[in-house]
Chains A and B, each alone.
Chain A
């Protein structure tokens, strides 16, 4: 009884960490440009798929394939910004939402044409002997997911709080004009944010691929869950996104375990709806003060 609960919690924690990581990607771009990038899930998919493609297609060993996948995805993020976001001027939020949805359809379509419709797996990083923990079993890969997420999160937090670049990026989202007046290149910061968030997405995709497998259409649901994680935690707060992701992941896995696995995704989104209705600014979000 207790061990099955522990099992659900551990599974939820791992899955939730990947939602959090995807949410972190949303946060980075949002914190710099105020854009919600609906193609974020596709970066996660690209990370996993590119790693698989480099390993099976080009016979690269695991580590170089992973690094290559991260580099490739980061490049995709930069390209996305330069080709579809940068040329647009004075757009509304809705316009950006639709552009990024369009880009996500494009990336998914290209991935389908290049990689095909099959499902692929990446080998686990450090063997696949499960470890036993208080009666629940944990795959080493789950520890990888948790560890990598924690490290990335900490780095992001330090980056935004402590470094001049991170603060400059935040400044761009608060007020682009004021930021450029004090000498911040808003455009450079925007590209950086896309590159960074694509990189974070790719990391998520690579560490997740050994557990959940990967295919060209894996990005949609992950992206939506990542966005949900951001909203649960309060948009713009990296720790909020991670906490939101973990909350959603645990809710999902406990709900799937005790109630019904078919409704797994519904639990997360229902909880999200209830939360939004009760506390519209998310768990850790500061209530937006309306200026009159």
Chain B
């Protein structure tokens, strides 16, 4: 299953690239772009929460640091985009190290609270540092993305870039998860003590995955800022952190496709519900509660579970293959 993942990813990329030609309305391309950006953040959260089992309720902060980092570097200081990306990643790296080292000693509710508090503090800074961030009304005038001499003015071109970036992130995650490191992370999730006994350096692995996840989120923030050309603190609030957790949990923790499925579902769903604007939030909460209550494994495991059950049902109808998978 795992060995075929690169092939699946190639298929996924082809599907993503083919999607716009099936759409009738150009507006949907921008929805897809946001879905891809959210998916990158969700993939980063999945690495941390799904595989390593560390909760972060302040992930929006890193996403925001990436967005504001590049906004300040490119718009205020007039640096090129490549430098903007560097500033975005560096900001996330420094903050993730500073906050990760003490935070990751905590566990459970204390870790949740610490990351939550950190996220809130960063969001308050975005709101209050008026001269640098523009405050609650936002940061305007971020240039459109221009990387290595290529200008991404057209939505379709931007979308293609994002499809490639998202696939790249998935490939990276796949390689990490399917390695010694990934197994160490999963061991840590199951039991820190057992992992430590088996020779896993718990503190270093936790920090590594935290920083990596922060960098991925900051990268998504970079892409977000140069797409919208405008960022405001409300996009990086506690609610966004919760939304990202929801995407991952809804899609299925610790599955490669789960985070993507969750992100696409939860980005596209509100667009489809535009006509019932006020009920949107109820559906959101309702989906969250029901999913966690009845399918804690998420969409992906529900699908594969249903598939397996269907397979068993079909197998039972053919007498020669019946019983071979029997329980």
Chain A positions within 8 Å of B, measured between CB atoms, are 36, 84, 87-88, 91, 93-95, 97-99, 101-106, 108-110, 112-113, 220, 224, 227-228, 231, 235, 260, 262-263, 265-266, 269-270, 272-273, 276-277, 280-281, 292
The residue among B108, B112, B281, B285 with the most chain A CB atoms within 10 A of its own CB is: B285
A53 to B130, CA, bound (A): 38
Known: A109-B282, A113-B282. A269 touches B117 (CB 8 A): yes
Residue of B at shortest CB range from A232? B113
Q: Lowest 6 CB-CB distances: which A-B pairs, in order?
A: A102-B288, A105-B285, A106-B285, A102-B289, A269-B117, A277-B102
Of the residues B128, B242, B249, B282, contact of A263 by C-beta under 8 Å: B128
Total CB contacts across the A-B interface at under 8 A: 118
Interface of B is mostly: helix
A95 to B53, CA, bound (A): 12
Chain B positions within 8 Å of A, measured between CB atoms, are 49, 55, 99, 102-103, 105-106, 108-110, 112-114, 116-118, 120-121, 124-125, 127-128, 193, 238, 242, 245-246, 249, 278-279, 281-282, 284-289, 292-293, 296
The residue among B128, B281, B289 with the most chain A CB atoms within 10 A of its own CB is: B289
A262 adjacent to B109 (CB under 8 Å): no
Residue of A at shortest CB range from B253? A94
B289 adjacent to A84 (CB under 8 Å): yes
Distance to closest chain A CB from B293 (angstroms): 5
The residue among B105, B106, B112, B113 with the most chain A CB atoms within 10 A of its own CB is: B113
A292 to B194, CA, bound (A): 10
- Contact partners of B296 in chain A: CB under 8 A: 91, 95
A220 to B116, CA, bound (A): 12
Distance to closest chain B CB from A281 (angstroms): 8
Interface of A is mostly: helix
Distance to closest chain B CB from A282 (angstroms): 8
Known: A102-B286, A108-B281. A262 touches B128 (CB 8 A): yes
Distance to closest chain A CB from B284 (angstroms): 6
- Contact partners of B249 in chain A: CB under 8 A: 98
